[in-house]
Amino acid sequence: LRGSDGSSHAGGGEGGNIFHCNRDGGELRRYATGFWNPFGVCVAPGGQVFATDNDPSSRPPSRLHQVIDGGDYGFQYRYGRSGQHPFISWNGELPGTLPMLHPAGEAPCDVIFHRWRLVVASWADHRVEVYPLHWEKTHFTTERTILVQGGVDFRPVAFAFGPNGSLYVTDWVKKDYALHGQGAVWRIDGWAPKSLIPYDDPSNLFAVNLDPTSADLESDPWTFSQLISHWAKEPGEESAWPEDGDLVFRKFALLTERLRHSEDPAGIAGKGLEDPDSIIQLLALKWISDEKLDRYREKVEAIAGDPPSPTLFHAAVTALARLDGQPVDDKPIQRLIAGRLRAGNASPKVKQAAFQVLADREKFLSLGELKELYESSPDEIELRVGVLLTLLVHQNDSGARKFAEELLARSPVDEPLRPFIEEVAHRGQPRPDLSPDVISGRPTDLNVEEWKSFLGSNVSPAGSPALAPGRLVFHRHCAVCHRALGFGRQGGPDLSTIGQRGKDHILASLLDPSAEIAPQFEPWQMTLSDGSERLGFLLGEQGDNHTYADIAGNEFLLSNRDIVTRQQVPVSLMPPGLVNLMSNAELRDLISWLEFLK
């Protein structure tokens, strides 16, 4: 891009951007990055910027953003449309990136500011949404309300307020993208809410303390991001790695130096690779990958060859591919990971890491490859467990069962693995009904304290959590919608760190799944053009084709053109009587295992 005064910006693959220039088209600069498609942008009286982000691909929901100068909202197209790469954040997961203000309705288009509310056009949900803004010291919070809910032929796109306060809405009407000539413009009268913040110029209200010595740097990602942007612009600052700095300040130093000198003349990225903290290592690998800093190739290869974790293995393989000029979006990087998994000289550690991060491994690896991986890793118990869990859902049902039966016929059977082998051998077979004695004595209501008293103290899984009996219970009853430790489906929240929430939260979620649901995990109730209805989680989108998962975890594909109505419902797809499908012992094992996941 080139401004009228010769100012310019160049880039590629870093994600959608928002740019700023003066009224004459000069002084062009990138204002914020990390969007999928910042379709609509508006500015409030105090200079606050807001934007809709249209299309979440495999990381629903669509996003509504508070946009700050220098902000990074996490998405980078070069790392794949799925949004599942460790270098990508969708809701501020990586330090230095920012979370969404709120999930937006599907296919959000225009956003307009009105009396400290945001009005958003949701094209695919056929509605006009309103988000009242509340200031929380350093950022806004909001909740969604519906101003207008239309039918299937109401597809709002853009807004304008008239001089008398009427709101005008353009309506595309039909789901066809072709110019069909049936569009409309609507006028909404009588909506005149009072201003939520009674200031004509509230800019002073939004001041942020930019002194890093007096701020808890990472307690608020908005402050953290603005501190990075501010100090990266300070002249005369020395580039030095804070050897004795605390963890958060080391993250701040690395991200600030990257913004100040992306080519890394001071070698800060190399220091990050040697840092004991895995998140700092990940941030350093991302820097090296984004900027193709080839002088770190040897150190990156060392991480890929002896990975501290599956995530860092994934990141290192990606960085090496970028250094070699190879594409690293979804399918190419999965092929590279599979190649390292299949390599004859791959160490057990590399095999374990590659297997862990290989997406849809049950679809990617043949039965023969899984059997070879199992047989070639006699001392790698966790890898063998992973193979068996993959065989539980592999499309070659009969072949998986036959292999498990062969393992059970061996003498001796590997006893720690016996429960997992038996689970594969019996996959697809109906489980016997629970006898009354294995569920006796339970509380009659959903009171968490009563259930805790009934279940008693949990015992932490002995030995490796990979072999805990609760893990099998999880894959029997929960993995159809949830992932944990890299296995399972992605319809609901990933439970790999659910133990941080504590036993009360785990038990409450099992007893009453609909009591607390994040908006992005609310299912969709849909009416189709043939009159049928479907209920499911939105897993991802590819053009007009949307992938959902039903209550059993089965994926189904719908064309957006076949959906007549679609509405999010605040209920969980997790069945409310799930605990009734488990014995008391199974329930104790499951809670014990989930509590262990931190």
- CATH number, position 528: 2.30.30.100
Residues 585 and 547 in one domain: no
pLDDT tens figures, 344-363: 888 989 988 999 899 878 88
Q: Is residue 139 part of a domain?
A: yes
Give every CB contact of residue 359 below 8 A, 6+ residues apart in sequence. 82, 84, 330, 334
Residues 291 and 378 in one domain: yes
Residue ranges making up the domain that contains 80: 16-198
Q: What is the pLDDT of residue 136?
A: 85
Residues 30 and 157 in one domain: yes
pLDDT tens figures, 156-172: 999 999 999 999 999 99
Rounded to whole angstroms, how far apart are CA atoms 540 and 380?
34
pLDDT over threshold 70, residue 393: yes
Mean pLDDT of 326-347: 91
Q: What is the pLDDT of residue 550?
A: 82
Q: Is residue 340 part of a domain?
A: yes
Q: What is the pLDDT of residue 38?
A: 96
Identify which has the larger pLDDT, 480 or 198. Answer: 480
Burial, 566: exposed, middle or buried (Cβ in 10 Å; 0-12, 13-18, 19+)? buried
Shortest CA distance to 487 belongs to which of 157, 327, 478? 478
- Would you call the peptide bond into 412 cis, given omega within 30 degrees of 0 as the criterion? yes
Residues 46 and 62 in one domain: yes
pLDDT over threshold 90, residue 418: yes
Q: Is residue 405 part of a domain?
A: no
Q: Is residue 482 part of a domain?
A: yes
Mean pLDDT of 204-216: 62
pLDDT tens figures, 430-461: 888 888 888 888 998 888 899 989 988 665 55
Name the band, by pLDDT with cuts 50, 70 and 90, for residue 547: confident
Residues 339 and 229 in one domain: yes
Residues 562 and 580 in one domain: no
Is 583 within 8 Å of 437 (Cβ atoms)? no
Phi/psi region, residue 508 (left: phi>0; alpha: psi -120 to 50; beta: rest), is alpha
Name the band, by pLDDT with cuts 50, 70 and 90, for residue 507: very high
Q: Is residue 539 part of a domain?
A: yes
Residues 385 and 453 in one domain: no
Residues 61 and 151 in one domain: yes
Question: How many structural domains are present in the chain?
Answer: 4
Residues 372 and 447 in one domain: no
Rounded to whole angstroms, how far apart are CA atoms 228 and 505?
35
Residues 533 and 587 in one domain: no
- Edge-first strand listing for the sheet containing 555-559: 555-559, 545-549, 533-542, 524-528, 563-568
Q: Is residue 48 part of a domain?
A: yes
Q: What is the pLDDT of residue 391?
A: 97
Please, which residues bridge with residue 167 across strands? 161, 188
Q: What is the pLDDT of residue 48?
A: 92
The percentage of residues in the chain with a pLDDT greater than 90, rounded to a whole number, is 56
Residues 114 and 154 in one domain: yes
Strands of 279-340, DSSP E: none
Average pLDDT of the chain is 89
Identify which has the larger pLDDT, 120 or 231. Answer: 120
Q: What are phi and psi of 87, to 5 degrees?
A: -85, -5
Residues 326 and 455 in one domain: no
Give the largest Cα separation in the chain, rounded.
Answer: 85
Is 282 within 8 Å of 311 (Cβ atoms)? yes
